[in-house]
């Protein structure tokens, strides 16, 4: 039963990531969020295949999983996420250099942090703390994003964004507290979980899928609000000049 739930959760986040990643690219021309969503889809696809074939920790797929995981949790779903959402909250238009630089930075950091939890050391503990702090700082902006959604009348999207953000924080706390503990020789288990942490990954995958959907739909609603506001301002201006 756990394996079935794991596969359902994995397929859920994969579909959500690719579908809404493409929507970010085609409808909103938001390359930061669109590409990050697709990276998440690739990551979870690789993870699902790795789990299905019961791959070992010495294989290429495992190291790809570690790299993409560090890529997204360090810069992708933190700095890149914030820069992407700022396109509706602050009308921010990143230059191509900023977009390329953000992904290049994520690549470098992801490479440096590959497999940090597999090697007991003070660095591994520091890396785990870094991931938690990075998401907490991102969470401050996401609280602001949720507040803005509420203020413009998109309260349903605000609620779902808040829920997704809270659950994402729980996943980060469990994962990185556990990873930090693993670096010291012991991994923090969810009660009743198995050695492969199946229950945790079911919860994590389901949460990431919710984040992919909730953040896109909130962004889409915010963008529609901005367009309505722009149209109303244009009509008012025309009326005054008329």
pLDDT in tens, 135-175: 899 999 999 999 999 999 999 999 999 999 999 988 888 87
pLDDT value of residue 117: 62
Q: Report residues of the chain scoring pLDDT below 70.
A: 117-122, 176-190, 196, 235-242
**Is 185 within a domain?**
yes
Residues 64 and 107 sit within 8 Å (Cβ to Cβ): no
pLDDT value of residue 202: 92
**Is 212 within a domain?**
yes
pLDDT value of residue 147: 97
Segments forming the whole domain that contains residue 168: 2-233
**Is 108 within a domain?**
yes
**Is 239 within a domain?**
no
Report the alpha-carbon distance of residue 199 to residue 221 in Å, rounded: 33
CATH code for the domain in which residue 195 is found: 1.20.1070.10
Q: How many domains does the chain have?
A: 1
pLDDT value of residue 120: 60
Report the alpha-carbon distance of residue 92 to residue 88 in Å, rounded: 7
**Is 240 within a domain?**
no
Q: Where are the beta strands (DSSP E) in 67-223?
A: none
């Amino acid at each position: 039963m756990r394996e079935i739930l794991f596969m359902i959760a994995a397929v859920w986040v994969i579909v959500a990531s690719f579908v809404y990643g493409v929507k970010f690219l085609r409808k909103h021309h938001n390359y930061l969020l669109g590409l990050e969503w697709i990276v998440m889809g690739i990551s979870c696809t690789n993870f699902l295949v790795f789990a299905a074939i019961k791959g070992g920790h010495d294989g290429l797929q495992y190291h790809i999983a570690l790299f993409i995981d560090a890529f997204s949790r360090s810069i992708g779903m933190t700095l890149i996420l914030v820069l992407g959402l700022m396109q509706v909250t602050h009308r921010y238009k990143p230059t191509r250099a900023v977009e390329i630089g953000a992904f290049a930075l994520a690549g470098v950091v992801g490479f440096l942090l590959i497999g940090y939890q597999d090697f007991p050391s003070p660095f591994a503990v520091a890396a785990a703390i870094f991931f938690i702090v990075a998401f907490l700082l991102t969470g401050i902006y996401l609280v602001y994003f949720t507040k803005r959604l509420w203020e413009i009348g998109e309260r349903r999207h605000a609620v779902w964004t808040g829920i997704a953000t809270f659950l994402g924080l729980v996943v980060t706390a469990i994962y990185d507290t556990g990873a930090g503990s693993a670096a010291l020789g012991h991994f923090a288990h969810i009660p009743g979980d198995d050695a492969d942490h199946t229950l945790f990954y079911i919860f994590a995958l389901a949460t990431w899928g919710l984040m992919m959907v909730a953040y896109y739909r909130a962004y889409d609603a915010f963008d529609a609000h901005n367009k309505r506001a722009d149209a109303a301002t244009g009509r008012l201006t025309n009326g005054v000049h008329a």
